[in-house]
Amino acid sequence: MTTPILRIENLSKRYGTKDVLKGASLTVNKGDLKILIGPSGAGKSTLLQCINFLVKPDEGRVWLEDAEVHYTHKGDLCAYRQKVGMIFQDFNLFDHLNALENVRIGLVRVKGIGKREAGERAVRELERVGLRDHLQKYPAELSGGQKQRVSIARALAMDPKVMLLDEPTSALDPELIGEVHSVIRDLGANGMTMIMATHQIGFASSLASEIVFMEDGRIIEKGTPEKIFCHAENTRTREFCSKITELYGETR
Amino acid sequence: MEEWLYIQTEVYPALLKGFWVSLALIAPSAVFGLAIGITVGVLRVYGSRPVMAAANAYVVLFRGIPLVVQLFIWYFGLPYVKIYLTPFIAAVLGFSLCSGAYHSEYIRGALLSIKRGQMLAAQSLGFSTVRMIVSIIFPQAIRRALPGCGNEIIYLIKYSSLAYMITCIELTGQGKILASNSFKYTEIFLIIGACYLAMTSVASAILGRLEGRLRLPGFEHQRI
């Protein structure tokens, strides 16, 4: 049976007079890979950032494993964020730490695990993303694809229940996208629950359990990749999909 | 020959004594000044509104009043409210507070220069605000603040020469006494100038080495 692991209800965010997110609701089951698509400014990033409260929503509620997240309580918020991994478009590796230290620091400083044990765990996570030989390299010495894989290892080390990926390959050269995609594919195969915003339609449709089309701060339509890409009900969804298919190649 | 004897028997011992007093003033003032500067700098960026306002007021006050005046207030002013400080303590207090105000400005600038993404990443891993500042933001900021803070320490070495104004007889004070006894102002103050130059040179060499040790790949200075 599918069990909801993350549930968001009516998340809204306003910047000044502009509503960037207008009541988004989503239920994510264990092992789901939800893909958020939509034009820029649709609110995909804001939605992801609201889910782990990097952006404080003006309205709305979030449940993780049936427990509501009280984000105004700092302790609860920190505990919740450990269970929700976040991957950023521009990696956001800690510039003053090498790859190993980047992965280890959360374990040591947040989880309070001993340095040695945390180091061993960090090495395992970096091995998992294929970076065994780059442990001592600083972010500036890594390629974009390697940086993104370090950031994935850093998030995985915290044992998240859900991963939020905000256009993880948008800042990468085309030939580096593949290495990050294959890591994400492995994650999915191992049952990781993920919500990912992306423009990589081909990758999305081959992997997604559900595609969520957003526009103008709203979730317009959701459904299986086949439904969204081939038989979308909404005109805007169809328009967007045909445009993006043209840009990024075949849907499969 | 007579000159040499004078230097050996009078100038050298007196200046050496003064030199040790100067060092004894500079070392704690540098440490306290930096500690105050870091604290105030962090509060000016991350403090709540009233805390931030108080920290800003501190900087306005201690950066805006001439140091000599501050020293006079600590040493000659406080006795009016029945607080008596020794010249040495008054000088260290004055230097630390003044130095802290300047340091805080370098620290503040460095903290503000850290990209928001670093904070988002730390928060998304579950870092509390304090942990994030200590483990992620500060280690990066201090590297950027170091040239400025080093500058302030060099400055401190030189303005420690004001301590004799409140009767804490350090290097400059000893020089003043020697010179007014022997009228050899030029010679004595040339020697004293050289002493300060030596101290600041040593300090800047140490700071340069420290900067080198903290240098990170990707942040090297590129010669154009």
Tens-place pLDDT, residues B191-206: 999 999 999 999 999 9
B125, B132, B138, B144: best to mutate for the A interface, most A CBs within 10 A: B125
List Cβ neighbours of A85 (8 Å cut-off, separation of 6 or more). Answer: A155, A156, A158, A160, A162, A163, A164, B124
CA atoms within 13 A on the CB side of A126: 23
- Cα–Cα distance measured from residue A197 to residue A168, given in angstroms and rounded to the nearest whole number: 8
In a domain, B146, yes or no: yes
Closest CA to A110 of B48, B47, B134: B134
Report the pLDDT averaged over residues B109-126.
Answer: 95
B120, B124, B130, B140: best to mutate for the A interface, most A CBs within 10 A: B124
For residue B48, give how far its alpha carbon lies from the nearest alpha carbon of chain A (Å). 16
Mind spelling out the 3-state secondary structure of chain A? CCCEEEEEEEEEEEECCEEEEEEEEEEEECCCEEEEECCCCCCHHHHHHHHCCCCCCCEEEEEECCEECCCCCHHHHHHHHHHEEEECCCCCCCCCCCHHHHHHHHHHHCCCCCHHHHHHHHHHHHHHCCCHHHCCCCHHHCCHHHHHHHHHHHHHCCCCCEEEEECCCCCCCHHHHHHHHHHHHHHHHCCCEEEEECCCHHHHHHHCCEEEEEECCEEEEEECHHHHHHCCCCHHHHHHHHHHHHHHCCCC
In a domain, B170, yes or no: yes
In a domain, B92, yes or no: yes
Number of independent structural domains in chain B: 1
Distances (CA, A) of A28 to A66, A76, A194, B28, B209: 12, 21, 8, 58, 53
pLDDT at B21: 96
Nearest CA in chain A to B140: A96
Q: Within an 8 Å CB–CB cutoff, is residue B123 touching chain A?
A: yes
In a domain, B223, yes or no: no
Q: Number of CB pairs < 8 Å for A and B?
A: 76
Decide if B127 and A78 are in contact by the 8 Å CB cutoff.
yes
Decide if A95 and B140 are in contact by the 8 Å CB cutoff.
yes
In a domain, B61, yes or no: yes
Mean pLDDT value across chain A: 91
Nearest CA in chain A to B116: A92
In a domain, B219, yes or no: no
Q: Is the pLDDT of residue B146 over 50?
A: yes
Domain boundaries A4-95+161-248, corresponding CATH code = 3.40.50.300
Q: Is the pLDDT of residue B118 over 90?
A: yes
Decide if B218 and A96 are in contact by the 8 Å CB cutoff.
no
Decide if A94 and B118 are in contact by the 8 Å CB cutoff.
yes
Measured in degrees and rounded to the nearest 5, phi and psi for residue B158 equal -75, -40
Of the pLDDT bands very low, low, confident and very high (cuts 50, 70, 90), residue B28 is very high
Q: Within an 8 Å CB–CB cutoff, is residue B143 touching chain A?
A: yes
pLDDT at A1: 54
Task: Check if the beta carbon of residue A44 is closer than 8 Å to that of residue A50.
Answer: no
The stretches in chain A having pLDDT less than 70 are 1-2, 248-252
The minimal CB distance from A74 to the residues B124, B128, B143 is found for B128
Tens-place pLDDT, residues A111-147: 999 999 999 999 999 999 999 999 999 999 999 999 9
- Cβ under 8 Å to A: B residues 185-224: 216-219
Task: Identify the domain containing residue B17 by its residue range.
Answer: 2-214
Domain ranges of chain A: 4-95+161-248
Q: Is the pLDDT of residue B62 over 80?
A: yes
Task: Check if the beta carbon of residue B165 is closer than 8 Å to that of residue B176.
Answer: no
In a domain, B196, yes or no: yes
- Cα–Cα distance measured from residue B181 to residue A218, given in angstroms and rounded to the nearest whole number: 86
Measured in degrees and rounded to the nearest 5, phi and psi for residue A15 equal -110, 110
pLDDT at B37: 97
Of the pLDDT bands very low, low, confident and very high (cuts 50, 70, 90), residue B210 is very high
- Cα–Cα distance measured from residue B64 to residue B60, given in angstroms and rounded to the nearest whole number: 6
Q: Measured between beta carbons, which residues in chain A are less than 8 angstroms from residue B146?
A: none
Q: Within an 8 Å CB–CB cutoff, is residue B120 touching chain A?
A: yes
For residue B35, give how far its alpha carbon lies from the nearest alpha carbon of chain A (Å). 22
* Chain A residues with at least one Cβ partner in B under 8 Å: 49, 52, 54, 74, 78-82, 84-86, 88, 90, 92-96, 105-106, 109-110, 137-141, 151, 154-155, 158
CATH number of the domain that B160 lies in?
Answer: 1.10.3720.10
Q: Which residues of B148-187 are buried (b: 16+ CB within 10 A; e: fewer)?
A: bbbebbbebbebbbbbbbbebbbbbbbbbebbeeeebeeb
